[in-house]
C-alpha cells in the first residue's frame, strides 16, 4: 500500500510503499517494512492505493557526496526500486482522515496552480502546503544561497517564525486579555500543519511549537525547554533513528533558539523601534511586528546556523537582511494564498482575482531573494566543518545561556553536583548492556535537565524579595523559606510579568499564595489580570477603592469567576507568615482618604515585611500627605529596604519620610525612558545624599533587583 502522500517531482514520483508480502522465485512470504519506489509521474498514484510491484530491490547508493542510504535508513527505509512494473489492485485502503487531508491538499494545490502564474504558483504551494517539488531548481538555489530556504520549508525554523508573527499580530488585534492571541496562534499552526500534509517533520515542528505556546499560556516560558526536551525524548524513544534526522535536529534547535534567545532579541528590537520612532507612536506597533519576526529568525539562525553549514555546505552572508525584508510579506502571502486556494475550490474566477493580490506579494518576495542572491559574495561553500566544530559551538552557546541565567548558582551547584556524582559513581559497577549506549543519551539528557531545574529552583532557607523589571510599573515577588509566594502588583505588561515570574518561580510551582493589588491603575494591575488567568491564586488583598476602568473590571470579574478569597486591606492588619515572618498593613485607613491630591494613589496598600533584623517597606504610589499622616500616626515605618513611592515622583519621598523610615537601601521601580520623567532629579538627589549612590537601585538601569536575607544579613543581586 502507498503509505504516505506521493512525492511528485517534475518528471517522476516517489512512493513510500508499505509491503505486506513478497514473492521471490515463486515463493510467497509475509513481510513487514517499507521500500521507496520511483515511478513515472503519470499515471498518478495516491495514498491508500494497493499495488502489485514487480522489480529489483536495491540498496540505496550515495550520490554527489550525499549519504542517501543513511538518509533513508533514518526514515525506516532500507531498499529502493527504480521504475518497476506496477499493477493497481485497489484504492482507498488507508486511514480515512489522512485520505481526506491528502485529497484536500491536492485540490488546494490545483487551485493555486490554476489561479497563479509561475513561479509564484509553485512558491505559494511551497509556503502554504509544503509542496516544494515544483519550485524551479534555480530558485531553490537562490533561496539556499540567501539563507531564506527556511521560509519555504515547513519545519521548526519556519514554524518558529510563523508563531512569532502570529503572536505579534494577535496581541496587536486582540490584546493580551484571555490569551486569545495564544489560542489563535495554536489553531493556525495546526491548521497550517493540516494543510502541509501532517507528515512527520511538520508534525514534529508543530508539536514543538505548541509546547512553546503552551509555555507562553502558562506563563512558564523559561520552562519550555524542559517540555521540549521531554517531547524530543519521547519521539526518539518511539523512533530511535529520528535522533540522526537532520529535519528533527533543525526543528528541535530552532525551537530551542526561540525559547532561549527570542525574548532577548525581541526586547532589544522593540527598544530600538521605540527609540527610532519616538515621536511616531502609530508606527510602533507595525514596526514591532516586523522586528519580532526578525528576532525569531535571528534566534533560530543562531541555533541552527552551524548545523545547516555542516549538512548542506552553504553559509549565507545575507541571510538576516534577506529574511528581514522577506518576512513582512510572509503573513500576507499565507493569508492570500489560502484564500486563493479555498475560493478556487468553488469559484475559479474569484480565485484568480484574489490571486492578483497574492501574486503581488509573492513577486515582492521573489524580488528580494533574487536581489540579495545577485550581490557578490552573498554566500560561500564550506567543506571542512567537523563534528568537533559543531559540538564546540553548541557547548559555548550552552555556556552563554547558563551564564546569563544562573551565573552564581551554576558555579556553586556544579561543584557540589560533580563531587556528589563522583562519590556515588565509585560504588556502581559498569553495566553490561545488550544495546548501544547512545540510546541512553536522550533519556539521560531529559533527566539531567529536570534534575538541574529542580535543584536550582528549590526554596532555600532564606527570604527572597525581588523587585521585578516590568517597565513603568510595580511588581514585587516575595518568596519565603516556607515556600510561600506573595506577589505585590503586576506591572503594566502581561508579557513582562510572565517572563519575570518564570525566571523566579520554580517550573513546578503554579500557585501564588497571596496577590496584593496596591491600587487599581493600569501600571500596577494589568499584569495581575494575566497572573490570575495563568496561576492558581489563593487569596487577593486590595484597598477596595472603586475605579472605573476596563482592566479593573476584568480583574474583578476574574476574582469572582475563579472564586478567589478577596480581602480588603486596612491599616492595622497583620498577616503571620510563620517562622517569624510578619506582613503588616499600614495604609489605607479604615475610612478611606478623600479629597486628597489623588485619592486612588493615596489609598494604595502600604505594607511592611519583617524577619529578624531585616525589614522591607512597600509604599505603592502614596503621596506626601499620606507620608506625613503615617509619620503623625507613629506608624512602624523604620525599615532596611525602602520601595520608593510612585516610581520616584516628586510628589513623594519627602525628607521627613526618609528620616522616619531610615532605610539603608532604596529601590525605584521605573521604566526606561518613561514619558513622566521618573525618577525626579530632586528625589534622586535626596536619596543619594542620604544613602549613597551605591545603595540606590533602579529597575530601568539595574534590571530585576533581588534581595536575599537570612534575617540577619542582607545580600543584593541585580540583573545588570
State pLDDT tens for residues 595-617.
Answer: 888 888 888 899 999 988 999 99
Helix axes 156-174, 284-312, angle to 10 degrees: 170
pLDDT of residue 435: 46
Sheet holding 7-8, edge to edge: 7-8, 12-24, 27-40, 77-82
What are the distances in angstroms from CA 668 to CA 134, 422, 500, 655? Answer: 60, 46, 17, 16
State the DSSP string of 596-615: SS-HHHHTPPEEEEEETTEE
* Residues pairing with 583 in the sheet: 575, 609
How many Cα atoms occupy the beta-carbon half-sphere of 72 within 13 Å?
21
Give the separation between CA 438 and CA 408, rounded to whole angstroms: 32
Is residue 334 helix, strand or coil? helix
Average pLDDT score over the chain:
79
Does position 665 have pLDDT exceeding 90, yes or no? yes
Q: Is the pTM of this model over 0.85?
A: no
Average pLDDT over residues 259-283: 72
Q: Where do the domains of the chain lie, and which CATH numbers do they carry?
A: 7-94 (no CATH), 102-381 (no CATH), 463-718 (3.60.15.10)
Mean pLDDT for the stretch of residues 501-518? 82
pLDDT of 284 reads 63
Burial of 631 (0-12, 13-18, 19+ CB in 10 A): middle
3-state DSSP assignment of residue 631: helix
Q: What integer pLDDT is reported at residue 446 of this predicted model? A: 46
Cα Rg of the chain (Å, integer):
30
Q: Are 493 and 527 in contact (CB under 8 A)?
A: yes
Place of cell 536575599: 708
Lookup result for grid cell 531498499: 79
Averaged over 219-239, what is the pLDDT?
A: 65
CB-based contact 524:618 (threshold 8 Å): no
Give 635's pLDDT tier (boundaries 50, 70, 90): confident
Closest CA to 379 of 303, 322, 327: 322
C-alpha span between 207 and 198 (Å, rounded) = 11
For residue 471, the tally of other CB atoms under 10 A from its CB is 21
Quick check: 244 pLDDT over 70? no
Of 7-16, 238-247, 496-505, 647-656, where does mean pLDDT reach its minimum? 238-247
pLDDT surpassing 80 at residue 83: yes
**Tens digits of residue pLDDT in 674-709:** 888 889 889 999 999 888 888 999 998 899 999 999
Between the two ends of the chain, the Cα-to-Cα distance in Å is 61
Question: pLDDT, tens digit, for every residue of 537-590?
Answer: 899 999 988 788 777 888 888 898 889 999 898 888 888 887 788 899 998 888
Give the DSSP letter of residue 643. Answer: E
Summarize pLDDT for 294-350 with one digit per residue, the tens: 776 677 777 777 776 666 666 677 777 787 787 777 777 888 888 888 898 888 778
More reliable by pLDDT, 243 or 253? 253
Candidate ranges 161-165, 388-392, 662-666; pick with highest mean pLDDT: 662-666
Transcribe 68-92 into DSSP letters. Answer: HHHHHHTTTEEEEEES-EEEEEES-
Nearest residue to 271 via CA among 673, 668, 670? 673
**Contact between residue 288 and residue 168 where contact means Cβ atoms under 8 Å apart:** yes
445, 236 Cβ separation under 8 angstroms: no
Q: How far is 641 from 529, CA to CA, in rounded Å?
A: 28
C-alpha pair distances (Å), 115 with each of 132, 352, 359, 461: 17, 5, 9, 68
In the prediction, which pLDDT does 618 show? 94
Half-sphere exposure of 130 (CA within 13 A, CB side): 25
Instruction: Report pLDDT digits (tens) over 182-222.
Output: 777 777 777 777 777 666 667 766 776 777 777 767 766 55
Location of C-alpha cell 468553488: 346
* Average pLDDT of the segment spanning 392-406: 73
Reduced to 3 states (helix: H, G, I; strand: E, B; else coil), residue 567 is strand
In this prediction, residues 261-265 reach a mean pLDDT of: 75
* Cell representation of residue 168: 505579534
Q: Does residue 142 or residue 378 have the better pLDDT?
A: 142
Measured CA to CA, the distance from residue 219 to residue 564 in angstroms comes to 19
Kindly list the distances between the CA atom of residue 195 and the CA atoms of 327, 328, 614, in Å, as whole numbers in the listed order: 20, 22, 60
* pLDDT level of residue 450 (50, 70, 90 thresholds): very low
Residue from 669, 663, 676 nearest 702 by CA:
669
If one counts every other C-beta atom within 10 angstroms of the C-beta of residue 237, the result is 14
Q: Is 707 helix (H, G, I), strand (E, B) or coil?
A: strand
56 against 174, higher pLDDT: 56
Amino acid at each position: 500500500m502507498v503509505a504516505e502522500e506521493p512525492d511528485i517531482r517534475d518528471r517522476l514520483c516517489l512512493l513510500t510503499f508499505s509491503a505486506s508480502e513478497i514473492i521471490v522465485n515463486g515463493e510467497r512470504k509475509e513481510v513487514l517494512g517499507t521500500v521507496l519506489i520511483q515511478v513515472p509521474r503519470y499515471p498518478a498514484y495516491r495514498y491508500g492505493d494497493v499495488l502489485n510491484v514487480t522489480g529489483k530491490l536495491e540498496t540505496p547508493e550515495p550520490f554527489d557526496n550525499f549519504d542517501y542510504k543513511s538518509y533513508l535508513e533514518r526514515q525506516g527505509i532500507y531498499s529502493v526500486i527504480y521504475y518497476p512494473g506496477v499493477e493497481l489492485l485497489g484504492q482507498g485502503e488507508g486511514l480515512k482522515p489522512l485520505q481526506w487531508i491528502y485529497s484536500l491538499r491536492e485540490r488546494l494545490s490545483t487551485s493555486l496552480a490554476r489561479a497563479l502564474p509561475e513561479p509564484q504558483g509553485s512558491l505559494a504551494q511551497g509556503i502554504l502546503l509544503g509542496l516544494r517539488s515544483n519550485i524551479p531548481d534555480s530558485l531553490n538555489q537562490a533561496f539556499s544561497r540567501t539563507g531564506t530556504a527556511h521560509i519555504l520549508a515547513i519545519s521548526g525554523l519556519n514554524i518558529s517564525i510563523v508563531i512569532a508573527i502570529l503572536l505579534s499580530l494577535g496581541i496587536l488585534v486582540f490584546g493580551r486579555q484571555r490569551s486569545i492571541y495564544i489560542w489563535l496562534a495554536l489553531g493556525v499552526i495546526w491548521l497550517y500543519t493540516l494543510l502541509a500534509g501532517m507528515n512527520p517533520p511538520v508534525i514534529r515542528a508543530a508539536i514543538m511549537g505548541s509546547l512553546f505556546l503552551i509555555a507562553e499560556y502558562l506563563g512558564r516560558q523559561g520552562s519550555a525547554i524542559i517540555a521540549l526536551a521531554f517531547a524530543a525524548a519521547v519521539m526518539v524513544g518511539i523512533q530511535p533513528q529520528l535522533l540522526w534526522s537532520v529535519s528533527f535536529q533543525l526543528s528541535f534547535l530552532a525551537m530551542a533558539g526561540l525559547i532561549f534567545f527570542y525574548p532577548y532579541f525581541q526586547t532589544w528590537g522593540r527598544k530600538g523601534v521605540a527609540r527610532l520612532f519616538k515621536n511616531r507612536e502609530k508606527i510602533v506597533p507595525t514596526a514591532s511586528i516586523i522586528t519580532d519576526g526578525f528576532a525569531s529568525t535571528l534566534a533560530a539562525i543562531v541555533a541552527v546556523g552551524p548545523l545547516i553549514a555542516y549538512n548542506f555546505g552553504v553559509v549565507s552572508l545575507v541571510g538576516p537582511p534577506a529574511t528581514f525584508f522577506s518576512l513582512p510579506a510572509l503573513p500576507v502571502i499565507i493569508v492570500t494564498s489560502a484564500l486563493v486556494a479555498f475560493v478556487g475550490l468553488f469559484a475559479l474566477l474569484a480565485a484568480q482575482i484574489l490571486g492578483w493580490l497574492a501574486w503581488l506579494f509573492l513577486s515582492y518576495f521573489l524580488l528580494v531573494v533574487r536581489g540579495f542572491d545577485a550581490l557578490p559574495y552573498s554566500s560561500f561553500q564550506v567543506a571542512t566543518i567537523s563534528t568537533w566544530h559543531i559540538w564546540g559551538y553548541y557547548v559555548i552557546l550552552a555556556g552563554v545561556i547558563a551564564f546569563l541565567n544562573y551565573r552564581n548558582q551554576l558555579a556553586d551547584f556544579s561543584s557540589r553536583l560533580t563531587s556528589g556524582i563522583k562519590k556515588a559513581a565509585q560504588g556502581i559497577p559498569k553495566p553490561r548492556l545488550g544495546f548501544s549506549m547512545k540510546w541512553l543519551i536522550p533519556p539521560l539528557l531529559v533527566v539531567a535537565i529536570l534534575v538541574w531545574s529542580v535543584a536550582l529552583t528549590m526554596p532555600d532557607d532564606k527570604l527572597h524579595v525581588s523587585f521585578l523589571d516590568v517597565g513603568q510599573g510595580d511588581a514585587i515577588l516575595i518568596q519565603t523559606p516556607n515556600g510561600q509566594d506573595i506577589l505585590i502588583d503586576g506591572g503594566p505588561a502581561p508579557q513582562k510579568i510572565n517572563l519575570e515570574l518564570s525566571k523566579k518561580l520554580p517550573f513546578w510551582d503554579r500557585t501564588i499564595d497571596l496577590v496584593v493589588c496596591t491600587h487599581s491603575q493600569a501600571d500596577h494591575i494589568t499584569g495581575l489580570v494575566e497572573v490570575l488567568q495563568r496561576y492558581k491564586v489563593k487569596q487577593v488583598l486590595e484597598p477596595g477603592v472603586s475605579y472605573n476602568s476596563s482592566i479593573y473590571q476584568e480583574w474583578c470579574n476574574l476574582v469572582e469567576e475563579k472564586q478567589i478569597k478577596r480581602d480588603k486591606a486596612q491599616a492595622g492588619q497583620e498577616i503571620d507568615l510563620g517562622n517569624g515572618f510578619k506582613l503588616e498593613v499600614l495604609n489605607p485607613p479604615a475610612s478611606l482618604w478623600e479629597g486628597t491630591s489623588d485619592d486612588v494613589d493615596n489609598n494604595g496598600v502600604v505594607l511592611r515585611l519583617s524577619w529578624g533584623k531585616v525589614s522591607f517597606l512597600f509604599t505603592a504610589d502614596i503621596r506626601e500627605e499620606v507620608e506625613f499622616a503615617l509619620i503623625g500616626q507613629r506608624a512602624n515605618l523604620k525599615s532596611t529596604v525602602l520601595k520608593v513611592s510612585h516610581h520616584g515622583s516628586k510628589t513623594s519621598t519627602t525628607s521627613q519620610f526618609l528620616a522616619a523610615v531610615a532605610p539603608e537601601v532604596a529601590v525605584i521601580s521605573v521604566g526606561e525612558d518613561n514619558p513622566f520623567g521618573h525618577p525626579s532629579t530632586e528625589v534622586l538627589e535626596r536619596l543619594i545624599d542620604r544613602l549613597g549612590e551605591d545603595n540606590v537601585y533602579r529597575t530601568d538601569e539595574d534590571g530585576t533587583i533581588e534581595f536575599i536575607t537570612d534575617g540577619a544579613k542582607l545580600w543584593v543581586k541585580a540583573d545588570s
